[in-house]
Every structure is written in C-alpha cells, then in structure tokens.
Amino acid sequence: MDGGDGLVQPVKSIDETLLIQHDWHLGLREPVSQFYLGIKRTGAAKTEYFDVQITKLVDEYGFAVMPGEGTIKSSDFTNVSLDMLKNLHVTFQEKSTIFVAPVSEQVIEEHRSAPRSFDVSCTGATYVAADSSGCLNVVSALNAGTLRTLEGHLMDVYRCMFFPSGLIVLSAGMDMTLRIWAVDTGKCARVLKGHTQPVTGIGIIGVGREVLSCSNDGTARMWSCASGETIESWAFEKGKCVDLAVSVDSSRFAVISEFRQLSVIDLHGNKQRRDINLPSEPSALCFSGDEAGEIVFVGFEDGHVAAYNVAQQGLFGEIFSQKGSVTCLKFFYNRLVVAFNTGAVLAYPIPAIPPSALESGDSPTNIISAEYELTGADCDPIYDMAIHGRSLYTCCRDRKIRMYKLLWNV
C-alpha cells in the first residue's frame, strides 16, 4: 500500500541490542559463575550494566538477573535461557536476542599481525588470509597451519579471496596490482596492472574468467584473467573507491566512494550505471541474496547501515546503532550480518529495515534489537568476515579467526 503521495517511506530503525561480556560462555563450565549485560539507550550518556548469575545443576542451567542502580528491573527480563546448542536467549522488554559463542578460535602463527582480509575455500578445508605486513598465506582450516606462502606483493595486501573452484586465489593491495595465484603450487599465474593507486576492492565474475577491482585512483576495472588486460573501466570522480561488491548472479556490481556515492553498474545489456548520493562516508557494502541483487546494503563510518533499492535508486530502510563504525557486511540466510570496529557482530532479519507506506511524509521510527549477536571479540575491531555453508567466520584485531555455527532457518 502506498502513502498519500504514492511514495513508500523508508523505516528508520534504532538498534538497542543488549551488550554482553565477551567471554560469557566460559562461565558455563563452572558450577556457579556470572557475566554482565548492559544497554545504552538512544541519547543516554552512559551504559547501564547488570549482572547475571549462572548456576549449573547437572545438565541444566539457572539464570538470575541482578540489575544495578538504574531503572532496569529483574521483571524486564522475561527469558534468559540456553538452547540445545548452548546459545543464550535473552528477552528484555519484549525484544529478544540470541547470543552465539564461537565454536573454534584459531591464530595463524606465521602472520606477523592480524589478518585484515580473509576468505574460506568452497570445500571449507582451507583459508586465505592477508595482513598489514604484506603476508599472504593459504592455511589449513584444521589447525591454521600454513600450506602455501604467496610471495610477490610489495607492501600491504588489502584484499584476498578464493575463486569459486577453491583452487585459485585473487589478491590486491598497496602495490596497485591484482595477482592471481595457483593454490597447489603457490605460484603467481598473472599480475594485473593498470591502477595508479592502491587497490581497495575486488570481485570475481561468475566462474572467474573476468574479475573486477576498484582503487584509490577513483576508478573500477574489469579484467580478463586469460590476458591480464583491462576489458573496461569506469571513473567515478568521487574521491577514493572504498570497496566493491558483486551480485549473486554476477549481473551487476557496486562501488562505494569516499565522497558519499554508491554506484551500481549492470554488466549485461546496455550496462546501465546508477549513482546514488549517500548521507555520510561509507565504509562497507554487500548485495542482498537474490540473484540479481535488487538491494544494496551500505555501512557507514558513523555506525549506521542503509539499504538502497537499485531499480528505484532510493532508500529502502536504515538501522542506526551505537556500536561504532561498520567494518564489514555479509548477507547470510536472509539476514544482514554487520561487523563493527568495537568487536560487535550483529545479525538482523531483513524485515528489520522494511519499507513502510504512510500517509504522512515522515519516515517511521522503531526501536529494534538484533536477532543474533556473535560474541568473542573483546572490543577489538572485526576486520573481515567469510561464509562457508552454515558457518560464518570473523577475523579480528586480536589475531583470532572465529568460527560460528549458525543453524537458523532460511
């Protein structure tokens, strides 16, 4: 249903997801322990904290919430419980969040610093990781041991990812090049040169005959992997390109630029380009999970996330958080997973940012909580995320690669 002016108004959602102690799950091993929860109301000067006591009785757990000196009461919590997977369900003032602890934590010992870019192969047996010291390694998912060291980039490697086959790696970085690597030998098969500034985003089209890149030089390029030549290039003239994403069916790609612009370009037909002005400086993006990518999600330095309808070139909805700058976005089983520089990783069902048809011209506002929060990082930024099957991986400034098993329904 349209509003009186025939326009669909985007919803402004304010996130007030509870905070939780990062290692809350370790207390489940003890007969009696406790962890803290907290909430910062919109506009509040500080966070209000309260303790939760855990009592273990054989295979069951009891929880007792002990609010502090603020306005929150124990009766505001109508459910604090564990499910069969030992995920913590908390319902607070009629809003529920499931806190998910990592099932594994690994450190790549040969890396001199934390991985800044990370991906998982199609089999789930190997990772590729790059750090700010220029290390680029293929490692075993079993024990994080290095299988191949990919040597050739000069200085920092900003991006790395597997081709769909899992046998080839694409990387790019400060040296203004993209490089294509054979996983079995560790040899560089092709160097793609043409950008005049560091490469900040990469993407693979289909099975990988062509790849895409964007750069601090303000351009994006499509490359032939066979010849190493540029097939096509686009200039955005909006400062440095921050990141790039490709739709599920590879029919279009999107680029965000530092001077507040989202550009979406069709790769088929007339190769239409749509430029959308953004409200603030963008930091991450991803497409929705439908084949053509009808919605593009953009995360911002100020901590909010916006969804844009590609065809209408308009705002679909927004989520405003107090969790810090957005560092990475992934679309996963009809959820938008948002990582922040404070270590928070929140998963929102897509109806959290629905369009709303109102007669007035004002956008509606509602208070929400994330459906899931992935815990483990202690205020350290999440640098990247990757997906394999129903598992989601994060890499963090604390150098740890965390794996989460997520069994939610599609």
Q: What is the per-residue pLDDT across 97-135, written as a single tens digit (0 to 9) for each?
A: 999 999 999 999 888 889 999 999 999 999 999 998 889
> Do the domain assignments include residue 220?
no
Tell whether 170 and 84 lie within a shared domain. Answer: no
| Boundary-marking domain end, from 71, 100, 129 | 100
Query: Which 8-state DSSP code applies to residue 75?
Result: G
Three-state secondary-structure class, residue 29 = helix
Domain of residue 84: give its range: 16-100
What DSSP assignment string belongs to 70-113? SS--GGGEEEEEE-TT-PEEEEETTEEEEEE--SEEEE-TT-SS
> Do the domain assignments include residue 327?
no
> Do the domain assignments include residue 252?
no
> Do the domain assignments include residue 5?
no
Q: Tokens representing 89?
A: 């369900």
Tell whether 86 and 125 lie within a shared domain. Answer: no
pLDDT at 67: 78
Residues in the chain: 410
| Boundary-marking domain end, from 36, 66, 100 | 100
Tell whether 70 and 137 lie within a shared domain. Answer: no
Tell whether 75 and 31 lie within a shared domain. Answer: yes
Q: Give pTM, 2 decimals.
A: 0.93
CATH number at residue 123: 2.130.10.10
Cα(152)–Cα(410) distance, rounded to whole angstroms?
Answer: 41
> Do the domain assignments include residue 216?
no
- Taking 70 as the pLDDT cut, the residues of the chain under it are 1-8, 351-364, 409-410
Tell whether 36 and 87 lie within a shared domain. Answer: yes
Supply the Cα-derived Rg of the chain in whole angstroms: 22
Tell whether 52 and 116 lie within a shared domain. Answer: no
CB-count burial class (<10 Å; 0-12, 13-18, 19+) for 121? buried
> Do the domain assignments include residue 79?
yes
pLDDT at 24: 97
pLDDT at 354: 53
Q: What is the per-residue pLDDT across 343-366, written as a single tens digit (0 to 9) for each?
A: 999 999 986 565 444 444 555 688
| Widest distance between CA atoms in the chain | 67
Whether residue 333 contacts residue 410, with contact meaning beta carbons closer than 8 Å, is answered with yes
Tell whether 82 and 146 lie within a shared domain. Answer: no
Q: Tokens representing 323?
A: 């969790």
> Do the domain assignments include residue 72?
yes
pLDDT at 42: 85
Query: Which 8-state DSSP code applies to residue 73?
Result: -
| Boundary-marking domain end, from 100, 115, 134 | 100
pLDDT at 370: 95
Whether residue 25 contacts residue 86, with contact meaning beta carbons closer than 8 Å, is answered with yes
Q: Tokens representing 91?
A: 């319902």
Whether residue 402 contacts residue 380, with contact meaning beta carbons closer than 8 Å, is answered with no
Tell whether 108 and 195 lie within a shared domain. Answer: yes
Tell whether 67 and 113 lie within a shared domain. Answer: no
Tell whether 108 and 89 lie within a shared domain. Answer: no
Total structural domains within the chain: 2
Query: Which 8-state DSSP code applies to residue 112?
Result: S
- Which of 123, 130, 165 has the alpha carbon at shortest distance from 150? 130
Q: Where are the beta strands (DSSP E) in 218-294?
A: 219-224, 230-235, 241-246, 252-257, 261-266, 273-277, 282-287
Tell whether 112 and 189 lie within a shared domain. Answer: yes
Tell whether 187 and 133 lie within a shared domain. Answer: yes
> Do the domain assignments include residue 43?
yes
